[in-house]
């Protein structure tokens, strides 16, 4: 686990060490164990390492036998041992025990098709100097982030946006559509960010850059570097002194192509019996958890007390020679506190359990710290306790397993029950109805003087469950955003809303309503909200989180489940609950799912009232640029009078604090 950076020239200029050095320094919190650079003609690669596998020899970049291929990777390749054995039999020689070295040899063997063989979570940048190609990818579900900037002279990549903002050519200009999407979704769907010049590589996508060759290139390493943050070592200092390859110069700039290499597959297999399906799910779960336990450091589990994390804990305990370490966060005094259930699971499985009470303390400072950590705003209150839990767990382990993805793969949300209740003979009607209310129209910023759009939206929610799955009613709806924005800002985005599924393939519209919603949630919401939250919150403290339920082999098993083994009108996660009965106490399996809750609505009326007003009105940096003062005054007055606007206030507050941290420099 680490932070990676890449800086590529699109013409015949050579990469200097200073830009890539600054990029790596900006990512140092992701990899506190070592920071290295690799400069090779038009390509600069950087790596900040958190040592998990091959602690002594796994420094990156990693190379093939003749050092003509270099790679930096953030993440873990769980099947690297099997791949290594196959590659060794094919004649390849490995220099390290690092899981990521397989990437260089796989590229030699298979080129871009190498992605089909990888099992893991990853974002990597690979440079093949003989072919003049820079290739990279993000894992199937987007567990590891990768952002990029494409300019006329350079293309740059980084694990976090912070790593790109240190480059002078990367503008901090705000993307108006990104802000509009944030206020609707509470996150920003890929590929956008809030910076107009910075994009996210979408989950399950890869890229290829064909360089415009220089007259002469050398991979001879540069001298050791130093920065204000301490030494940055040059990787493999003398590894390629004899490799000097001359290439005839060509006119033109390097090309940059992005394509999708994987999408979730939904193909219900009605030929198998229920017992056969359950056997496949259980086998897939065991295999996924075992593969995710590979590490040269202790592995723990974030145990919430829900089915997903509890089942992961039960299976992980079987593969851990010592008592498994589990960690949970408690919310003393909250009716939504799940800590007692986590304690029950830990006791039944004999884990070494640690529980940390969430102490918000000065909530102003907590919210400000979260805004500074997340270089694109995420209005999710669960970020705060997750940061606290990650900070505490990092004192004991370097790797934790989580239950992330269980709801999205196995239908764990209550909304899925409603979709499962639609009789098969009426699903065509539901699909037609949803087509009558396209999301880019329902959610678009625009006026609604007579309330017609509101009526259409509520009708769509009632008769088309797919719409309800995609529409975030608790956020700012289209006509509300139109009244919130300054008129000159609103004019730039009216009727330009970008639906999350607008680029999906047509196969989605042939799926059942439930599978259609699952595919949409797996394709965007998972990567842009849940997984981004988990990656940033854990990596801030040098902690690696792994999600066995997002193993792509297990996902294929889940995609083959019939609807009745995913959700029914009365039950969610049918198959997963049946498996859990074999491992967990009954009270865990049958209890109702609880959402995280803090009394934020009350705090906004009492303890935080004056601070919120100061942030959003009196001392706001975002108000004069984007919003109408009267709209925010009315929002705060209505909330103080008892109407719950906490979600909207939190979104505005998150954006304001983000502006102070990133948009005003």
Three-state SS annotation for 264-295: CCCCCCCCCCHHHHHHHHHHHHHHHHHHHCCC
The answer to whether 2-260 and 274-359+376-410+520-590 have equal CATH topology is: no
**Structural tokens at position 603:** 């705090």
Q: Is the pLDDT of residue 463 over 60?
A: yes
- What's the pLDDT tens digit per position in 534-552? 999 999 998 999 999 999 9
Q: Is the pLDDT of residue 485 over 90?
A: yes
Q: Which pLDDT score, from 0 to 100, does residue 234 have? A: 47
SS3 at position 380:
coil
- What's the pLDDT tens digit per position in 58-103? 578 999 999 999 999 999 999 999 999 999 999 999 988 889 999 9
Domain ranges across the chain: 2-260, 274-359+376-410+520-590, 599-665
Q: Is the pLDDT of residue 502 over 50?
A: no
Q: What is the mean pLDDT of residues 268-278?
A: 96
φ, ψ for residue 56, nearest 5 deg: -85, -35
Q: What is the mean pLDDT of residues 318-330?
A: 92
In this prediction, residue 579 has a pLDDT band, given cuts at 50, 70 and 90, of very high
- Separation of alpha carbons 662 and 665, rounded Å: 6
B/e letters for 170-192, b = 16+ CB within 10 Å, e = fewer, are beeebbbbbbbbbbbbbbbbbbb
Other Cβ atoms within 10 Å of 51 Cβ, number? 20
In this prediction, residue 500 has a pLDDT band, given cuts at 50, 70 and 90, of low
What does CATH list as the number for 274-359+376-410+520-590? Answer: 3.40.50.620
CB-CB contact of 26 with 166 (8 Å): yes
Q: Which pLDDT score, from 0 to 100, does residue 338 have? A: 85
Angle at the Cα of 504 (from 499 to 509), degrees rounded to 5?
95
Which has the minimum average pLDDT: 117-131, 211-225, 493-507?
A: 211-225
Which has the minimum average pLDDT: 339-353, 475-489, 496-510, 520-534?
A: 496-510
SS3 at position 246:
strand
User: DSSP letters along 171-236, please?
Assistant: ---B-HHHHHHHHHHSS--TT--SBTT-EEPPTTEEEEEE----SEEE-PPPPPEEETTEEEEETT
Q: How would CATH label the architecture of 2-260?
A: 4-Layer Sandwich (3.60)
**pTM > 0.75:** yes
Q: What is the mean pLDDT of residues 587-602?
A: 75
Nearby residues of 479 by Cβ (< 8 Å), 6 or more positions away: 446, 447, 448, 453, 454
Structure-model confidence comparison of residues 59 and 422, the more confident one: 59
Q: Which pLDDT score, from 0 to 100, does residue 97 have? A: 86
Task: With residue 92 as reference, give the H or E element that holds it.
Answer: none
Q: Is the pLDDT of residue 583 over 80?
A: yes
The DSSP bridge partners found for residue 326 are 301, 353
User: pLDDT averaged over the chain?
Assistant: 87
Q: Which pLDDT score, from 0 to 100, does residue 237 have? A: 33
- What's the pLDDT tens digit per position in 235-251? 433 333 333 333 333 44
User: DSSP letters along 222-236, please?
Assistant: PPPEEETTEEEEETT
Nearby residues of 664 by Cβ (< 8 Å), 6 or more positions away: 621
Structure-model confidence comparison of residues 387 and 363, the more confident one: 387
- Separation of alpha carbons 414 and 575, rounded Å: 15
- Separation of alpha carbons 98 and 353, rounded Å: 30
């Amino acid at each position: 686990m680490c932070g990676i950076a890449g800086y590529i020239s699109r013409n015949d200029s050579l990469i200097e060490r200073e830009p890539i050095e600054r990029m790596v320094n900006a990512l140092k919190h992701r990899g506190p164990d070592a920071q290295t650079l690799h400069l090779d003609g038009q390509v600069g690669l950087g790596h900040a390492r958190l040592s998990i596998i091959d602690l002594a020899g796994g420094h990156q970049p990693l190379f093939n036998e003749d050092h003509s291929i270099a790679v930096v990777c953030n993440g873990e390749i769980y099947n690297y041992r099997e791949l290594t054995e196959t590659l060794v039999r094919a004649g390849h020689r490995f220099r390290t025990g690092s899981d990521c070295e397989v990437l260089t040899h796989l590229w030699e063997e298979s080129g871009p098709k190498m992605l089909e063989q990888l099992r893991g979570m990853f974002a990597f940048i690979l440079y093949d100097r003989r072919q003049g190609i820079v290739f990279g990818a993000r894992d199937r579900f987007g567990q590891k982030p990768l952002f990029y900037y494409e300019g006329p002279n350079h293309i740059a990549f980084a694990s976090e946006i912070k790593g790109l903002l240190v480059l002078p050519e990367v503008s901090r200009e705000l993307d108006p559509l990104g802000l509009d999407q944030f206020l609707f979704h509470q996150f920003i769907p890929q590929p956008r960010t809030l910076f107009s010049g910075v994009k996210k590589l979408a989950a399950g996508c890869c890229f290829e850059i064909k360089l415009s060759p220089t007259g002469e290139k050398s991979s001879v390493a540069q001298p050791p570097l130093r920065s204000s943050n301490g030494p940055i070592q040059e990787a493999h200092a003398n590894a390629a002194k004899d490799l000097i390859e001359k290439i005839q110069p060509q006119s033109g700039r390097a090309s940059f192509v992005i394509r999708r290499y994987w999408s979730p597959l939904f193909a219900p297999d009605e030929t198998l019996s229920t017992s056969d399906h359950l056997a496949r799910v259980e086998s897939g779960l065991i295999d996924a958890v075992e593969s995710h336990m590979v590490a040269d450091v202790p592995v723990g589990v974030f145990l919430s007390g829900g089915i997903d994390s509890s089942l992961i804990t039960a299976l992980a305990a079987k593969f851990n020679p010592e008592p498994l370490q589990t960690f949970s966060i408690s919310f003393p005094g909250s009716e939504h506190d799940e800590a007692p259930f986590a304690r029950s699971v830990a006791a039944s499985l004999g884990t070494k359990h640690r529980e940390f009470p969430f102490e918000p303390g000065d909530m102003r400072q907590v919210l400000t710290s979260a805004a500074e950590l997340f270089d694109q705003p995420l209005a999710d209150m669960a970020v705060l306790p997750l940061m606290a839990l990650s900070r505490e767990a990092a004192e004991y382990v370097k790797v934790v397993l989580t239950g992330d993805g269980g709801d999205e793969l196995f239908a764990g949300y209550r909304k899925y029950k409603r979709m499962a209740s639609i009789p098969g003979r009426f699903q065509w009607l539901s699909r037609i109805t949803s087509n009558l209310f396209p999301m880019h129209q329902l959610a678009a910023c625009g006026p609604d003087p007579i309330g017609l759009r509101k009526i259409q939206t509520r009708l769509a929610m009632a008769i088309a469950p797919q719409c309800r799955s995609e529409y975030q009613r608790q956020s700012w709806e289209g006509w509300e955003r139109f009244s919130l924005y300054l008129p000159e800002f609103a004019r730039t985005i009216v009727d330009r809303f970008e639906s999350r599924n607008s680029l999906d393939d047509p196969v989605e519209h042939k799926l059942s309503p439930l599978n259609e919603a699952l595919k949409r949630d797996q394709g965007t919401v998972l990567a842009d909200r849940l997984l981004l939250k988990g990656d940033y919150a854990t990596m801030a403290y040098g902690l690696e989180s792994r999600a066995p339920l997002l193993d792509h082999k297990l996902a294929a098993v889940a995609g083959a489940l019939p609807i009745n083994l995913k959700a029914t009108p009365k039950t969610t996660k049918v198959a997963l609950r049946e498996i859990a009965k074999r491992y967990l106490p009954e009270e865990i399996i049958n209890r109702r799912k609880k959402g995280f809750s803090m009394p934020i609505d009350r705090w906004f009326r009492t303890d935080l009232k004056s601070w919120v007003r100061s942030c959003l009105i009196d001392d706001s940096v975002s108000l004069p640029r984007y919003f109408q003062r009267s709209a925010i005054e009315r929002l705060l007055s209505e909330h103080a009078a008892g109407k719950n606007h906490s979600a909207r206030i939190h979104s505005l507050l998150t954006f304001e604090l983000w502006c102070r941290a990133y948009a005003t420099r």
